[in-house]
Amino acid sequence: MHADHVNHFKFTTRARLDKSINSLVGIVEGVAIDGAINHSEVSFLRMWFDEHVELQNCHPYTELVPVVSSAISDGVLTHEEREDILWLCERMASTEYYDQVTADLQRLHAVVGGIASDGIVTEAELRGLSAWLDDHEHLKSCWPYDEVASLVTAVLADGKISPQEQSMLRDFFSEFTSLLDDKTITSPSVKQGESLVGLCAVCPEIEFSGAKFCFTGASSKHKRSDLSALVQKLGGEVVGSLTSTVNYLVIGADGNPCWAYACYGRKVEKAVELRKAGARLLLVHENDFHDAVADRV
């Protein structure tokens, strides 16, 4: 575990438990959204099980883990097994820590991750996802619901998925799952008007003197205190809260296991809101931040 997370990790047990169950619901919904489940999708579900096997003796995993283990033991997930897992998850899920919107966004992340888990997105899966989105319209205006809905609508418009669209779907969907290699967002999109544009700046021009910086997630190279010292040395200011006066939000490459979502937390969510409201705020991946520092020292 990253050193920046140790001190508060123990205080997030309830939140991480709720998120894991919401993610399992989404994964099961995603892999079965087209009515068929293949070996790669079952393997993706098994990854969730492997990540949580150490909790099998803790409540409520004492009830959940045996059900998941039995369902995937033969490499096949039947309709009945899927319904059993979803039934149990629905009774374990709560909104004690997260509100319903956050819980459903956690499910959305896992749904699209489950869809992309076998490396290909089919028309049937997109139509199933479209139906899921229609059933969860209360998520409208919440990132990334609008972006996912816009992409699905655009791809389905001509009734076929071109190779270019297939690549775009895989790249986009893979950003929103905690079970893939990347630990944090690298190239997600945000909706501006009718277009999808990159959320993180590409090759950003970063000015330090007089600028305000905010950090989220963990750095793969430095402690948060070291990053703050670098910014201050170069004439910038580091703030803990994100407001419209912040110039740069730097997203750590190692993410944070305590984030509310699979690959980002509330600061990124707030940054999207500020961007859509017209704030001149750049979201910068840690790698670009280090490049900018290297150019000045």
Higher pLDDT: 149 or 192? It is 149
Calculate mean pLDDT across residues 38-53: 83
The fraction of the chain above a pLDDT of 70, given in percent, is 89
pLDDT in tens, 65-112: 888 888 888 888 888 888 888 888 877 766 665 678 888 998 998 899
Q: Is the pLDDT of residue 3 over 60?
A: no
Q: Is the pLDDT of residue 5 over 60?
A: no
CA distances from 184 to 173, 179, 238 (A): 13, 11, 21
Please name the residues in contact with 220: beta carbons below 8 A apart, sequence gap of 6 or more.
252, 253, 254, 286
pLDDT in tens, 245-257: 999 999 988 877 6
Max mean pLDDT among 191-205, 228-242, 265-279 falls in: 228-242
Q: What's the confidence (pLDDT) of residue 263?
A: 79
Calculate mean pLDDT across residues 25-53: 86
Q: What's the mean pLDDT when you consider all of the chain?
A: 84
Q: Is the pLDDT of residue 26 over 50?
A: yes
> Is residue 283 within 8 Å of residue 32, measured between CB atoms?
no
Q: What's the confidence (pLDDT) of residue 7?
A: 53
Q: Rounded to an integer, what distance in angstroms lies between the CA atom of residue 256 and that of residue 9?
A: 10
Q: Is the pLDDT of residue 49 over 70?
A: yes
Q: Which two tokens stand for residue 121?
A: 């997105």
Strands 248-251 and 212-216, sheet pairing? parallel
Q: Rounded to an integer, what distance in angstroms lies between the CA atom of residue 251 and that of residue 272?
A: 13
Strands 248-251 and 282-285, sheet pairing? parallel
Calculate mean pLDDT across residues 141-157: 92
Domains of the chain: 3-181 (no CATH), 212-294 (3.40.50.10190)
Q: Distance between the two ends of the chain, CA-based, in angstroms?
A: 30
- The model's confidence at residue 9, banded by pLDDT at 50, 70 and 90, is very low
Lowest model confidence (mean pLDDT) among 29-33, 123-127, 209-213, 261-265: 261-265
* Cβ count near 66 (within 10 Å): 11
Calculate mean pLDDT across residues 175-189: 67
CA distances from 231 to 29, 242, 283 (A): 44, 16, 16
pLDDT in tens, 105-135: 989 988 998 998 888 999 999 999 999 999 9
Max mean pLDDT among 33-37, 179-183, 220-224, 227-231 falls in: 227-231
Q: What's the confidence (pLDDT) of residue 159?
A: 86
Q: What's the confidence (pLDDT) of residue 150?
A: 93
Q: What's the confidence (pLDDT) of residue 194?
A: 72
